[in-house]
Every structure is written in C-alpha cells, then in structure tokens.
C-alpha cells in the first residue's frame, strides 16, 4: 500500500484525470469546500460569542440572583399601594438563616459622588461593599488589594478605584496605591485598582460598607443584595423563596409582583449556554450535511469518470490489474479531491475568521472575542472528510471492478 501511495504513476494518473475534466472537477470540489468553509466559519463565530460571554461573566458567580426593593402594586395589612420597599441589613441575616441552598448573600449600596484629585473632578458611582463581594464578583486587580474585614470594622476611609478613574486622575505608569482622593469632601486612601470589565463598570469605585453608611447616612438600609446559590441548588427556586420571605418581612401582598425586583443571572447564563450549544450543534449539522452533499457529488463525478474510462479499465484488467488495485486508485482519487477541497475550505474559513476578528473582535466591548477554531476541531473535520471521501469513493470503485475486460474492449 505504501509503495502504491508513493508510486509516481499513481499520482500521474490522478493528475491526468483532473486535468482532463478541469471544469467538472472544480464545480464538484466547490461543494466540499463550501461545507468545510461553513463549518470553520460558524464554529469560529460560535467560539467568539462564547469567549465574549466568558469575558463578561467568567469571573462572576453565575448561579446568582440580584434582588432589590421597588414599590408595591397591591394594598396589604393597612399599607396603601405604592409603598416604597427598602431592604435592610437585618433582612440579609434572616435570609441566610431561613433560605436553603445559599452560598453567599452580599448586601450592597451605591450612590453617585464627586471625586476630586489635584483640582480635577469627576462623577463616579460610589459603592459600599463587603469583602465578600470579591468572592462572587472577582476583582481583576492591577494594583493593591480589595476591601478587608478590618476596613469594615474600623470604618476606614479607603477606596478601591477603577482603571478608568486612574486614567482620568493619574499619569500613565504611576502606582496609585497610597494616593489620596477626595470623595464628597472627605479624603480616602487608595488601596487597590481593578481592571475595567463588563460587570465592574469603569465608573465604579468601592469603599467599605460601614464607611458608606457614615458618608451617606444610610443607616441599616441597603440598595440591593446579590445572592449566590450552591451548585446543587436551583437558583430560580432560591429566588422564589427569598422574595417570598422578604414579602413576609415587609408586609407585602404575596401576589404582589412589582414590590420586589430581581434579575436572575443563573437563568440568563443557562439560556446563553443553551443557545451556544444549540448553535454549535446546528453548525455541525449544517456543515456535515453540506460536506456529505459535496462528497457525494465527487462520487457522482467519479462514476461518470469510470464510465468514460471503461476501455482503459478493461485494458488494465486484461493486463493483470486486480480488483483491489482498481479500487485503490479510484478511492485515492476521491480522497485526494475531498482533501484538496477541505484544505481550501479551511484556508478560506480561517481567512474569514481573521477578517471578522479584525472588524468585530477588538476592544473591551468586542461582540466576538478571539474568533477561532481549535486544531483538534479542524483535525476532526478533516478526519470526517477523509472517511466520507473514502466511503463515497468505494461506490465508483466497486462499479469499476465489475467491468469485464472483453466487454470493455468492445465498448464504444
């Protein structure tokens, strides 16, 4: 077999067959090329979407739900419609004690504030946070640290700034740790700086929750809470149980749907994952279906070629060529055409992915991140193509072996 593959006559015969039918061969090869091109391009785009999604939520506890207070839409227990619901720190403790399946409950506050540094000013979102936030919303720190327990206990005037704030107030290359910022006329020492992200908005800065309480006189009130469930628990059920408990604590009608607002990140994450998996499945289905159609077109062309070469095959059979030799030659021709078409499709798809990456894959807000197809997937596609090419090649090859030398020599 190896000797057959490296024999010059083998490849000369394949070349001559292609050369004699250039247009027909080119048209046939287009089907397979298009199939591989679609497969590579769509899989690359799906990977880009997945990478973009992971960039946004990769460091975030995705089995999470956000809950905040709004206004009631139903009167209840003497309270009129439209009552403002304000969540409290005491609610957090009761939720931790009574709701099953919780991993973390993180209360948060935020207000807009003016920040001053060396006569430069800017409006930023000031967040009052606990150290626990770093466990559910991982901070990508460039310098320093995040808020710790001592900061909370001692109500320290420290701040963790965003990369965007740094660019506004500091020169490039400067280490901001230890520098002072004036927030609402009070000096805060910078202890950390985080990289801008999709969750950590560039307009955010973080100070200890207890310091925030003093600075903005919020008392026991919280703006909202982030709840993270354990992996084995459904976050949708945790959301339902938590909202029901809050309604009981704040005398809200059980059927009031407006009083407590929520955003279930876990459900959105699952929906996005399902969409990405569905897109990948559809991509493989469409790509392989197109490949099969293209490869069968090659088989049909080879059937025509076998018919045209009936006399030649008959002469070879008369000179002692065995059926296996005929089969090897035709199967190799089918395989060669399939692989050539596949390589062209891979090159074309790779080129399009590079173009997509240049157009839509640059910057922090890129819709598609690192649009690419891994080498193993390319190898799998080539392997599928090789198998299909071989199997389809057997159809005309089997027909060729049925040609009788005498009948072939008499064929007009």
Single out the residue of 382, 287, 360 nearest to residue 51, CA to CA. 360
Q: Is 337 inside a domain boundary?
A: yes
Domain count, the chain: 3
Residue 264 resides in a domain: no
**Same structural domain for residues 397 and 299?**
yes
Q: Are residues 387 and 335 in the same domain?
A: yes
The verdict on 335 and 365 lying in the same domain is: yes
Q: Are residues 207 and 79 in the same domain?
A: no
- Tell me, yes or no, whether 114 and 224 share the same domain: yes
Kindly compute the dihedral angle of the four CA atoms of residues 94, 95, 98, 104, in this order, to the nearest 10 degrees. -130
211 and 342 belong to one structural domain: no
Residue at 265 is within a domain = no
Whether 225 and 344 share a structural domain: no
Six-digit token pair at 14? Answer: 């394949």
Torsion of CA 229, 231, 233, 234, to 10 degrees: 80
In a domain, 64, yes or no: no
Nearest CA-CA partner of 76 in 222, 262, 224, 249: 249
Hey, how many other C-beta atoms are within 10 angstroms of the C-beta on 387? 13
**What string of pLDDT tens digits covers the 412 residues of the chain?**
455 455 565 566 666 666 666 776 777 678 778 888 888 888 888 888 877 777 766 566 678 999 999 999 988 888 888 999 999 999 999 999 999 999 999 999 999 888 999 888 888 899 999 999 988 888 888 999 999 999 999 999 999 998 888 988 998 888 999 999 999 889 999 999 998 764 555 568 999 999 999 999 999 999 999 999 998 888 999 999 999 999 999 999 999 999 999 999 888 888 888 888 888 888 888 877 877 777 777 777 767 666 666 666 666 666 666 767 777 777 777 778 778 888 888 888 888 888 888 887 776 666 677 788 888 888 888 888 778 777 777 777 677 666 665 555 555 5
**Overall pTM > 0.75:** no
Question: Are 62 and 269 spatial neighbours (Cβ–Cβ below 8 Å)?
Answer: yes
CB–CB of 283/43 below 8 Å? yes
pLDDT at residue 327, as a whole number = 72
Inside any domain, residue 399: yes
Domain check: are 339 and 383 in the same one? yes
Give yes or no: residues 96 and 108 share one domain. Answer: no
Alpha-carbon distance 393 to 390, whole Å? 5
Closest by CA to 68, choosing from 291, 246, 241, 187, is 246
Give the closest residue to 344 by CA, choosing from 139, 38, 51. Answer: 38
DSSP string, 281-337: HHHHHHHHHHHHHHHHHHHHHHHHHHHHTHHHHHHHHHTT--HHHHHHHHHHHHHHH
Question: Which own/partner contact pairs does 243-248 have at CB distance under 8 Å and 24+ positions apart?
Answer: 243/67, 245/94, 245/95, 245/98, 245/99, 246/67, 246/69, 246/85, 246/87, 246/91, 246/95
**Residues found in the chain:** 412
Kindly state the helix (H) or strand (E) to which residue 245 belongs, with its residue range. Answer: helix 235-249
Both 215 and 132 in one domain: the answer is yes
Write the CA distances from 337 to 7, 235, 343, 386, 390, integer angstroms.
18, 52, 10, 10, 11
Residue 126 backbone dihedrals phi, psi, to 5 degrees: -90, 120
Q: Which residue in this structure is represented by tokens 């250039």? A: 22
Cα separation, 182 vs 106, in Å, equals 27
Q: Which of 35, 47, 56 is nearest to 277 (CA)?
A: 47
Which residue, 131, 268, 249, 116, is CA-closest to 183? 116
Question: Do 360 and 394 fall within a single domain?
Answer: yes
Residue 240 confidence (pLDDT): 94
Residue 63: inside a domain, yes or no?
A: no
- Tell me if 390 is assigned to some domain: yes
Which residue range forms the structural domain that includes residue 164? 103-229
Task: Say whether both 210 and 123 belong to one domain.
Answer: yes
Backbone phi, psi, residue 103, to 5°? -105, -50
CA-based radius of gyration for the chain? 34
Q: Is residue 247 part of a domain?
A: yes
């Amino acid at each position: 077999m190896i000797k057959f593959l490296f024999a010059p006559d083998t490849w000369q015969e394949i070349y001559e067959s292609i050369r004699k039918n250039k247009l027909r061969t080119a048209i046939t090869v287009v089907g397979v090329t298009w199939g591989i091109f679609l497969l590579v391009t769509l899989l690359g785009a799906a990977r880009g979407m997945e990478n973009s999604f992971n960039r946004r939520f990769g460091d975030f506890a995705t089995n999470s739900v956000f809950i905040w207070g709004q206004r009631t839409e139903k009167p209840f227990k003497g309270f009129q419609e439209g009552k403002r619901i304000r969540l409290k720190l005491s609610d957090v403790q009761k939720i931790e004690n009574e709701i099953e399946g919780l991993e973390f409950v993180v209360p948060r506050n935020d207000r807009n504030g003016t920040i001053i540094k060396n006569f430069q000013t800017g409006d930023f979102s000031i967040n009052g946070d606990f150290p626990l936030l770093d466990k559910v919303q991982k901070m990508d720190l460039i310098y320093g640290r995040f808020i710790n327990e001592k900061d909370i206990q001692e109500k320290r005037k420290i701040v963790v700034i965003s990369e965007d704030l740094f660019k506004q107030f500091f020169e490039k290359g400067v280490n901001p740790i230890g520098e002072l910022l004036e927030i609402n006329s009070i000096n805060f020492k910078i202890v950390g700086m985080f990289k801008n992200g999709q969750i950590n908005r560039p307009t955010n800065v973080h100070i200890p929750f207890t310091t925030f309480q003093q600075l903005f006189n919020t008392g026991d009130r919280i703006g909202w809470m982030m709840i993270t469930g354990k992996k084995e628990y459904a976050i949708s059920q945790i959301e339902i149980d938590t909202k029901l408990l809050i309604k009981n604590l704040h005398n809200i009608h059980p059927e009031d749907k407006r009083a407590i607002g929520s955003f279930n990140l876990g459900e959105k994450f699952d929906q996005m994952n399902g969409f990405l998996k569905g897109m990948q499945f559809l991509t493989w289905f469409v790509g392989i279906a197109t490949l099969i159609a293209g490869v069968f077109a090659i088989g049909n062309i080879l059937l025509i070629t076998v018919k045209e070469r009936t006399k030649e095959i008959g002469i070879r059979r008369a000179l002692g060529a065995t059926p296996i030799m005929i089969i090897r030659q035709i199967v190799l021709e089918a395989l060669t055409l399939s692989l050539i078409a596949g390589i062209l499709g891979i090159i074309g798809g790779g080129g399009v992915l590079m173009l997509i990456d240049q157009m839509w894959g640059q910057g922090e807000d890129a819709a598609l991140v690192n649009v690419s197809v891994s080498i193993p997937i390319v190898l799998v596609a080539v392997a599928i193509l090789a198998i299909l090419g071989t199997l389809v090649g057997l159809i005309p090859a089997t027909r060729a072996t049925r040609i009788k030398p005498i009948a072939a020599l008499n064929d007009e």
